[in-house]
Amino acid sequence: MPTPSRHATTAPFPSALASTDPASLGAAAHAPQLDDMLMYRLYRAWSSASPVFVRLCEGRFGITRREWRLLATAVETGPTTSAGLAGAADLDLVRTSRTLGTLCEKGWLQRQADPHDARTVRVQATPAGRALYQQVMPEIARLNTLFMADLDEDERGLLLRLLRTLESRGARMAADNIVEDKASRLAGGTRRTARTSAVTC
């Protein structure tokens, strides 16, 4: 059998990158990547500043971010039901109920029966809770201003308007159930993948 020449070429690697077609090369060069995804960039922006707000709330004022979220919402919306407060703060009822209990124990919120309907319990901020809000809110506002210091006034206004638009779009996407798969943190993606692999192998 003849020995292959050391100058012989091997077969080209079967990849879009090996193609000389400009369209294929362009598609490969502009393939979506994680760093291009808006949701990821929003998360990165949030997580970069999040530790500063945690230190402010927990370190200086002894209130967690979720507790602050509910307290601020209660102060700004006035007396409301637990469900109403959860909706205004965009939190689920289970987490809201748990955090409400903590806030009541700390004396910042209180539950009271509705004088017009004994079956309804309303939640409202206590004088101590409103006083804490008056202390924390200016500091939160200062950090938010500092966070956006590299944007001019027009850019800040535009950013907030765009975020409200995206928030509305996200809510419609969720309501339209465009992804029908059900998330299960108890099962987890790894376990689900393992079951699928067992079937297909």
Low-confidence stretches of the chain (pLDDT < 50) are: 3-18, 192-201
Percent of the chain with pLDDT over 90: 61
Q: What was the pLDDT predicted at 143?
A: 96
Report whether 116 contacts 79 (CB < 8 A). Answer: no
- Domains defined along the chain, listed by start: 64-142 (1.10.10.10)
Strand (E) positions, the chain? 109-114, 117-125
**What's the predicted TM-score (pTM) here?**
0.72
How many other CB atoms sit within 10 Å of the CB of residue 88? Answer: 16
